[in-house]
Amino acid sequence: MAAMKLKIVSVTDWNGGLIAGYVDDGRSYKSFSLRPDDKVQFGVPMPKKNFTDLEHFAGVVGKFDPDAFVLDEPLAVGRMRFSELDALLSGDGRFEKGDEGGGDRV
């Protein structure tokens, strides 16, 4: 089975113990939380066909998760590994690591 291609579309929290946000797996959007031990949990899939585009998704999710700031350009990731995603976010320039609510710094 081929590995799922994921795109990070939102970062809602980024600190030393957690990276959380939303991903696009090609067919659906879903929340995620990733711990330093690389344990990742995904939320219930929200089929992309229910949204006209990423902006529509951002508007809907923003009503339920006010810390969810959707990125203009999603970040493609191969695997959900904390150290790799932490380094990718650090080098991206759009993010600033914080103790709480990293989403409000995107």
Kindly report, residue by residue over 13-67, the tens digit of the pLDDT: 888 789 899 999 999 999 999 999 999 999 999 999 999 999 899 888 888 887 7
pTM check: above 0.85? no
Domain that holds residue 21: 6-97
**104 part of a folded domain:** no
**80 part of a folded domain:** yes
**105 part of a folded domain:** no
Write down the number of H helices and E strands in the chain: 2, 6
**102 part of a folded domain:** no
Give the torsion sign (CA, 21, 75, 39, 91): negative
